[in-house]
Copies of this chain bind each other. A is one copy, B any other.
Amino acid sequence: MSEVHAARRARLRARCSSAGSVAALVSRPANVRYLAGSAPAQAVLLVGHSGGDVLVGHWDPAGDPAGPRPADDDGLRRVALEGDTDPAVTAVALAAEGGAEAVAVEEHHLTVARHRALAAGAPGLRLTDLDCAVERQRLVKDEDEIAALRVAAEITDRALGELLESILVGRTERHLALELERRLVDHGADGPAFPTSVATGSHSGLAGHRPSDRRVEEGDFLTVRLGARFRGYRCQIGRTFVIGTSPADWQIELYEVVFAAQRAAREALAPGTEYRAVDRAAREVLAAAGHGTALGPVTGHGVGLEIGEDPRLAPAAMGRLGPCVPVTVEPGVHLPGRGGVRIDDTLVVRSPADGGPELLTITTKELLAL
């Protein structure tokens, strides 16, 4: 595992030297984890230091023995701090001592106050912007990362499947959400990938709905969105069901539209396809059915160590998909006062020669009456 992290750091170092910077300071937690393996909260990583890469942080002396400060034999030196010192200040001072002329920092993460402290602590050193170099590196997943996402998706499908076999009428959104999260953990997840969303009746189809005390009733649309976190990797599934024996005509019609939009976007996934083209595929289907404004800013997004990563499948997004990039495809329509439909999968982009996009979340997308 540590060779994987060392290789990732080597790629980052190479990009930084080609850009002229001598060292890079990584501070966003998911980025630190990607490059260093486990790290204490708030730890930072200095890459390209003349003495080798350094992880600076606070390892709690009374800390969890399940996560001790590891030996430095994996090529990554660790500097443990006491008290309240900002690891970033220490790391930049180390870079200066090591003769660095400049350090590229994550300006989209460091606060103004921390940045001032870095500059004050190493006055001769130039601070530049690393920008989203690590996020871009994280875009394409290796086979171990994809394997972790597969397990996360299996756990997620199982938890959802079990819930569908239980009685739903009369239960609150909140309880169903808690139940789903418990089942994720039962089946081996580290925890949920994000707060589970359960929305029934006129709440159904709302993006980002937080579960309330509303109870499921006969005739409701019920939309559920959940995901497992496994070895740090997060996936996402969303499904819509009808409660009771037979859906109403408006429900069948709306479901077919959203299903068609989601399928169009899924089928657009291929190496070389523009991010905006995937988004457009879903948006056009919805617009043709009169729901052009329903979609929201994105049709989907990347997943990995974070549930919302590059790429964004959005109208103005620049860039093209490549193989081994996992993304969600999650369009939906909400009709105020009535409810709506959301259908959401996690897939890995693959070339047609490799079978096209690999669907990770395999729970049926047929409209089920529960």
A-side residues, CB < 8 A to B, are 60-66, 83-84, 105, 107-113, 115-116, 129, 174-175, 178, 181-182, 185, 202-203, 205-210, 212, 293-294, 296-297, 334, 336-337
Partner of A208, one of B63, B105, B208: B63
Known: A65-B202, A65-B336, A212-B66. A60 touches B112 (CB 8 A): no
Contact between B66 and A297 (Cβ–Cβ < 8 Å)? no
Known: A116-B107, A181-B178. A62 touches B207 (CB 8 A): yes
Contact between B108 and A61 (Cβ–Cβ < 8 Å)? no
Nearest neighbor of A181 in chain B, beta-carbon distance: B178
User: Nearest chain B CB to A207's CB is how many angstroms away?
Assistant: 6
Say what secondary structure dominates the interface of chain A.
Answer: loop
- On chain B, the residues within 8 Å of A112 by CB distance are 105, 107-108, 110-112, 115, 129
Nearest neighbor of A109 in chain B, beta-carbon distance: B111
Nearest neighbor of A184 in chain B, beta-carbon distance: B178
**Complex: how many Å from CA A174 to CA B190?**
9
Contact between A178 and B185 (Cβ–Cβ < 8 Å)? yes
- On chain B, the residues within 8 Å of A212 by CB distance are 66
Partner of A209, one of B61, B64, B84: B64
Interface-centre pick from A110, A115, A178 (highest chain B CB count, 10 A): A178
User: Nearest chain B CB to A244's CB is how many angstroms away?
Assistant: 23
**Complex: how many Å from CA A203 to CA B181?**
24
- On chain B, the residues within 8 Å of A105 by CB distance are 112
Nearest neighbor of A210 in chain B, beta-carbon distance: B64
User: Nearest chain B CB to A98's CB is how many angstroms away?
Assistant: 23
**Complex: how many Å from CA A164 to CA B108?**
46
User: Nearest chain B CB to A214's CB is how many angstroms away?
Assistant: 9
- On chain B, the residues within 8 Å of A83 by CB distance are 297
